[in-house]
Amino acid sequence: MKIFCVGRNYGEHAKELKNEIPEEPVIFMKPKNALLQPNTPFYYPEFSNELHYELEIILHVSKNGRYIPGKHADKYVNEISVGIDFTARDIQNELKKKGLPWEKAKAFDNSAVAGTWKPLKDGALEKPMQFYLLLNGEKVQHGNSADMVFDFKTVISHISQYFSLNIGDMIFTGTPAGVGECSVGDRLEGFFENEKLFDIEVK
């Protein structure tokens, strides 16, 4: 199982971190151990002093494929949810400054939270979808999939030009503006179309 992630896929988020809007999808990966298992506590990583939440719409791959054309890309995913791409922003900033890979900041154990999966209906990926994150009960991120720089089908197709997609893989499709720090004791609740799909506490 692989976890693909898209960086800088919402213009307002790219701007808040002073990054340029990319000309093609920015892709990075997290290993299997990055996925927080159900009923497992999330612990603040000891190597970071600036842990950020990034709420993202996530897709579940249901069919193996490579070189997938954009127009058929929705046939390769069957479920959707929201999740968190936890990021050690202090580590990432250091690595970015040196032009080094991001894995220590992005791919550490339990850095990927996936909410409850919902079935995807035909054509659903083309409609705008709303999602939001509550931090201790206060709305801190609110996204609309229509604001993506690269839409879902383009992202799936692009990834498949470089990597095989396999059943069980996940795709984190990018975070909207409003990312920020979280601390021990914080509660994070992720909503997709007004339905709560995850609820975690930082330990």
Q: Which residues bind Zn ion (CB under 5 A)?
A: 54, 85, 175
For residues 60 and 81, what is the distance between their CA atoms, to the nearest angstrom?
8
Q: Would you say 29 or 124 has its CB closer to Zn ion?
A: 29
Q: Would you say 65 or 141 has its CB closer to Zn ion?
A: 141
Q: Would you say 92 or 157 has its CB closer to Zn ion?
A: 92
Minimum distance from residue 114 beta carbon to Zn ion (Å) = 13
Q: DSSP strand E in the chain: where?
A: 3-7, 26-30, 51-53, 55-61, 77-85, 87-88, 112-114, 118-119, 130-135, 138-144, 170-172, 180-181, 187-192, 195-201
Minimum distance from residue 123 beta carbon to Zn ion (Å) = 26
CA dihedral 118, 197, 109, 141 (to 10 degrees): 120
For residue 97, the tally of other CB atoms under 10 A from its CB is 8
Which residue, judged by CB position, is nearest to Zn ion in the bound state? 85
Q: Would you say 85 or 169 has its CB closer to Zn ion?
A: 85
Minimum distance from residue 152 beta carbon to Zn ion (Å) = 15
Minimum distance from residue 13 beta carbon to Zn ion (Å) = 8
